[in-house]
Chain A
Amino acid sequence: MGSLSSTSSRVPLWRDVRVLRWAFQLLVLAGVFAFIFWLYNNYQVNISKSQIQTDLTFLDNPASFTIPGNDFDQSQPVRDALVQGFLNTLRVAFVGILLATLLGTLVGIARLSGNFLLRAVATAYVEVVRNLPLLLLLTFMNLAVVLQAFPRIEDAWLPLDLFVISNRGLALPWFEGSGYILLGVIVVALLAMWLTVKIRNAQADKNGKPAYGLRIGALIAVVIIASGWLLLGFNWTLPFVEGRGTVGGLRLDPSFFALLVALVVYTSSHIAEIVRGSILAVPKGQGEAADAIALSSGQKMRLIILPQAFRVAMPALGNQYLNLIKNSSLGATISYFELTQVAQITVGNGSPAVPAFTLTLLVYLAISLVTSLVVNYFNRKLALVER
């Protein structure tokens, strides 16, 4: 055999792998820093030529514009305007995610239905919407639906005398009273329902009788909400047309409505595909076993297939939620006052462009990271525990 003794066979420095690795890394780092420095230098040179501010003092300037939908005063600082824009983004994102998940799940299940027509319609919906750009859907919603199809306020549609639909927005019946208190009542009701389910299940484990936990819990929740409603003095207000606007009820800004519908329709088509794929990913044996123990198809879906499918779908769903939040920035094209619109307006009013838009980017980044953290948390909780 060849000699394996290490007789002064020191690897020269320029061939030593460890040295090379670190040399390469330092080279890359130097390259990156050089590139960033070059960008920074260009920035400084160009900025100093044009004498624009580059710090964040613009946040204290008065906004000089109002934001529809709340009492934002035009003398409040730009910072407050950005916060309002941020809240509007969250508003459309929150409602959008809820509705898109709901619609997407329904369409996804419909795509696997045994009914041919339902399957065909769901497939057509998904295939058509998925291949269209979101901006096109949004523009269509705004120009064709809201501005063309919806009537002028004088001729507003009044379906069921409950809603007022016009191109100035949608008015829904809404409750009168503090929203936070109602939210508190709902939270209490849900807690009570959860407690009931736990207690009834524990009892059922002991004495073997059916638990009906969910049914009783739901009943208790409804009772709590109803009594809270009556005792705390909430009541419904119906919207009706007065002059050139509506009075009463909740008025949805037409841009909010257009953005919401476009986002929901677009994202739900993707969610439908994810749901369909995740249901198909559940091993066939599970479904067959469910049939073998005579579960109805509804029970099969609810107890066996969907929970397992949800685990598979969770990461992809989280991705779609992130996309929805980022896509809400398109609201700026139809004058919905979310974060990007507010940033654009302040820039047009004199705020320096680079700091303003960079700040906007950082806020979106923060939202994305928080959402993906939440999704990852649920992912980990749902993950199969394997040895």
Chain B
Amino acid sequence: MKKPMMALAAVAASALFLSGCAATDTTEEATTAATQSTTTSTETAASVSLLESVQAAGVVRCGTRDALPGFAVLNDSGEHVGFDSDFCKAIAAAVLGDATAVEMVDLETADRFTALQSGSIDVLVRNTTWTATRDGSEAATFLQPNFYDGQGMMVAANSGYSSVSQMKGAIICVSKGTTTEGNAALESSRLGLNWEVRSFDDTDLILEAFIAGQCDGWSSDVSQLTGFRSAYPEGAAALAILPEVFSKEPLAPAVLDGDTAWAQAVNWAILATIQAEEFGITSANVDQIASSTDDVSILRFLGQEIESSDGSAVLDPSLGLPTDFAYQVVKQVGNYGEIFARHLAPLGLERGVNALWTDGGILYAPPYR
């Protein structure tokens, strides 16, 4: 019985390999077929948006991680605490009115998009970079970036490196399946540095390897590196983050393609935090402002009633969210500045480009009307 099985397997394997070569002819057919099927499926899928099912289920499943200082760590009671975790809570506050109605699902870097694709999570808020490939082939829709970052390199302070261009033939450690992997390879070939890039399942392993001296450099988003540097056992002074920034890394929450209602709902939840900071509303003064202000745009934003000649009305832009979602977000979680100050400022990260457009940064929320 072995010979037929072997023949079968060999034929199958070779057929698959050969079909890869012949794929160029079939891709066009496949894409037209796919677009046809997607148009029909979006028509049927539109009737069951994730927004409705999440509101029915009463909990938002948020893909995250458990050990990135500043962004998402587990505290002693086993709860997720951090910048990204707060945005998960903001989404829950907006969609469900309760910031605690969120289920945090820890994911490895390589599993992020498959979890989104398979529906194990509703939204991915896991310091993930927005790229064209991820928009396309990973079938993800990226929303308002909550942190504009760049890729940097961290080395030991006593390594003698002061610039990336000095790291010829170095061993660089990255996480599997991230943009940093590709960027590091690109940078290496661009500058002719001949790096050996080792990729690990999760940052725990990189930390171990880095402490032991197996890696000359650790390349990742500067925010991540700052976080790990602050928690380094030998103290932050033992590490140095080199000045070069390789690439743009806009970190943004992501949802699955094809669900416009859900995407827009999540997007506006994020934008609410930015807009709130622009209005100067914080979690401490939101009640006071809501009851005492007569700025119509603020009242509209907080979902308060606006007196007009025909009576009072509340703005409902038909996003599918409760009309006071922005109020809930600010009250239960805070505005962007508060969230940033709560988690990222202690690490030593400056606002930089992540400030409001009125303060010289690039955070700009569309008007809520």
Contacts and interface: CB of A to CB of B under 8 A. Distances in A.
A100 to B, nearest CB: 24
Which among A58, A335, A344, A348 has the highest number of chain B CB atoms within 10 Å?
A: A348
B-side binding surface: helix, strand, loop or mixed? helix
A153 B6 contact: no
B182 interface: yes
A346 to B, nearest CB: 8
B291 interface: no
A168 interface: yes
A344 B139 contact: no
Contact of A56 (B19, B197, B213): B19
A298 interface: no
Interface in A203-254: 243-245, 254
B112 to A, nearest CB: 8
Given A50-B139, A362-B16, A65 B216 contact: no
B75 interface: no
Which among B10, B41, B212 has the highest number of chain A CB atoms within 10 Å?
A: B212
A359 B23 contact: no
Given A362-B12, A366-B9, A373-B2, A148 B169 contact: no
Interface stretch (B82-90, B183-191, B240-248): B183-191
A50 B254 CA distance: 13
Nearest to B161: A244
A369 B23 contact: no
B212 A65 contact: no
Contacts of A352: 137
A147 B185 contact: no
A334 B119 CA distance: 29
Given A46-B118, A51-B38, A152 B205 contact: no
Nearest to A78: B20
A369 B9 contact: yes
B10 A366 contact: yes
A299 interface: no
A333 B214 CA distance: 16
Contacts of A154: 213
Contact of A167 (B12, B201, B214): B214
A372 B2 CA distance: 9
B27 A64 contact: no
A359 B5 CA distance: 17
A261 interface: no
Given A55-B23, A66-B197, A167-B213, A349 B38 contact: no
A-side binding surface: helix, strand, loop or mixed? helix
A16 to B, nearest CB: 29
B196 A349 contact: no
A195 interface: no
Interface string B207-225: 0110011101000000000
Interface string A59-100: 111001110110001100001000000000000000000000
Contacts of A333: 201
B348 to A, nearest CB: 27
B212 A167 contact: yes
A344 B112 CA distance: 12
Contacts of B197: 65-66, 68
Contact of A348 (B6, B34, B110, B171): B110
A376 B27 contact: no
B296 interface: no
Given A68-B197, A74-B185, A51 B257 contact: yes
A345 B20 contact: no
B176 interface: yes
B200 interface: yes
A64 B16 contact: no
A366 B13 contact: yes
B101 to A, nearest CB: 24
B205 A335 contact: yes
A38 B198 CA distance: 41
A335 B37 contact: no
B264 interface: no
Interface of B: 2-3, 5-6, 9-10, 12-13, 16-17, 19-20, 23-24, 26-27, 30, 34, 37-38, 41, 45, 109-114, 117-119, 133-134, 137-139, 169-171, 176-178, 181-182, 185-186, 188-189, 195-201, 205, 208-209, 212-214, 216, 256-258
17 contacts: A49-B119, A51-B34, A57-B27, A57-B30, A59-B23, A68-B196, A69-B196, A146-B214, A148-B212, A167-B214, A244-B171, A350-B113, A350-B137, A369-B2, A369-B6, A370-B6, A373-B2
Given A167-B214, A352-B137, A362-B13, 13 more contacts: A49-B41, A50-B117, A50-B118, A50-B256, A52-B117, A52-B137, A52-B139, A57-B30, A243-B169, A349-B177, A350-B134, A359-B13, A365-B9
